[in-house]
Amino acid sequence: MCGIVGYIGKRQAAPIILDGLSKLEYRGYDSAGIAIFDGEKINVSKAVGRLRVLQEVTHGGETMPGLAGIGHTRWATHGEPSNVNAHPHTNTAGTIALVHNGIIENYIALKNRLISKGYEFKSDTDTEVVPQLIDYYYKGDPLEAISKALHRIEGAYSFGIIFKDHPGEIYAARKSSPLIAGISEEGAFIASDVPALLKYTRNIYYIGEEEIVRLAENEIHFYDSDCEELTKEPVEIKWDQDAAEKGGFDHFMIKEIYEEPRTVRDTLMPRLKNDEIFIEELGMDDEEIRAVGKIHIVACGSAYHAGVTGRYVFEGMARVPVDVDIASEFRYRNPILDETDLVIVISQSGETADTLAALRESRQRGCKVLAIVNVVGSSIAREADRVMYTWAGPEISVATTKAYSAQLIALYLLALKFASAKGTIDSTELHSYIEDLKRLPDQIELLLARQKSIQRFANRYVGAKDVFFIGRGIDYAISMEGSLKLKEISYIHSEAYAAGELKHGTISLIEEGTLVAAVATQKDLYSKTVSNIVEVKSRGAFVLAVTNEYNTDIEKVADYVIYLPETASWFTNSLAIIPLQLFGYYVSVGKGYDVDHPRNLAKSVTVE
């Protein structure tokens, strides 16, 4: 990840590619690079940090002449941000250069096979195996070599590729990672997103799943994975530049909500092999897992809420005791830690100051620390004993959505791994849970398709002064995050309560017209939550219920119901949070607020 631009035409390629990459900076990245064919060889230039560093190194592209090239801004997934890990990557001879968005799930197996064939590798990335694999199959026909390589690759990808032997062409391919192509009088282009091309053309070709593209100066040809040519019509883009950066969405937050199905897939699928869970980053075999006496989950904000869910799942599935701490309180309560304990710290940015301090405290006391983070090379990633990356990609909106969903998936996988190792679930149960996890992306897409009804409901509560979220068990954890989403972007006072606590004081705050969002997805607790709904209804509350699709009897007591597709009770948070994120978003939009940049908040909290 994260941005791709390619160009071939009449003009110098490097300045055009750098300009296109600048239009994709909103996506977030940690390094950048370009590869340009100068008529004799492919020249590569890379730089860590902002794109301007690469622009300075190449003098705006002037030091890299050539009419064809590819460029990339990288969000690290495999290997820390560095020159050697930055894209483009080449084959050993430097005659094939490639840029890549996505994740190659079977890169280790491919890499080992290529090493046995005499290939040498320089980087820590999954990407480098691809130009080497294409080189292995290359016999003079780029299309044939790419096709054969794609049949061996597992995972998500969008590629831009140039060959020294074919200076008048650029190749591209994609699967589960966006890529577009365009053509104008100035030449032909590829890009990972529309903003990079708007300056040059508004007629865009959307590259389909497992398709290969061959671009020349004045033409574009499309092929399926078996090299059969396809016919494709362009789409005219009518967005302005600002809208294009958001993919046509009004805000980054809603764009990132719609990216959650892909985020869940990207975090989940590389860790599933033949219906078994493989978490190489954990670095623990079954015997070491069984030796863990206790788990401490430490995080802040939404990551803390993910951790609360994790506690229920770990304890329920694996029967291992779990403490969940707000990171800012962890050190100051002088926690009792044992060398057999495992500390799991969670942070989207990997720079959260309180979480980093908790990590250091845990290591000083002899505990192993596993970090769940989204940013490769971040402080927490560097200092933890082990790192499990969520691979959510850059998240621009301050209010987290897709990163939170990715953290949930990471925790589910860890809990299942522990439960399997400890023997608290058998292989049949494990495979059933894995099937439920694999269905989550499609189920999230189904919920997103119902956004208009949630928007209409949200419009009724733009003027609300107080909103209460209630639930029991995992539903309480869901309520905490739903409440936070609403308050941080709409500035409406909102609180989450364990539903059983209502009668211990909170119910005195319920009056005529107060909105109460009741989450009721846990079968064993459903009837008790319904009783709580009746309690608040009798005090005049208007009740929004979020429940499973078979609980239609809830319509007798709730005023508005959002139904969720069926999944294992442990995983309902991943579905229930979607409508609650949408609700918070549409209330904020209705109030006319800056959704992506709520007041007084920062994306990464780097002070205590």
**Which residues are identified as catalytic?**
2, 603
Q: Render 423-452 in DSSP notation, one character per residue.
A: TSS-HHHHHHHHHHHHHHHHHHHHHHTTHH
CB of 290 closer than 8 Å to CB of 435: no
CA distance 390 to 344: 14
CA distance 156 to 2: 13
Q: Render 363-411 in DSSP notation, one character per residue.
A: HHTT-EEEEEESSTT-HHHHHSSEEEE-------SSS-SHHHHHHHHHH
Helix axis angle for 427-448 and 260-268, nearest 10°, is: 160
CA distance 507 to 217: 70
Q: Coil, helix or strand for 206? A: strand
* Strand locations in 451-596 (E): 466-471, 493-498, 515-520, 542-548, 560-564
Residues 6 or more apart in contact with residue 59 via CB below 8 angstroms? none
Query: Which helix or strand (DSSP H or E) is residue 107 part of?
Result: helix 107-116
**Residue 276 is which amino acid?**
E
CA distance 144 to 139: 8
Helical H segments across 449-502, by residue range: 451-459, 474-490
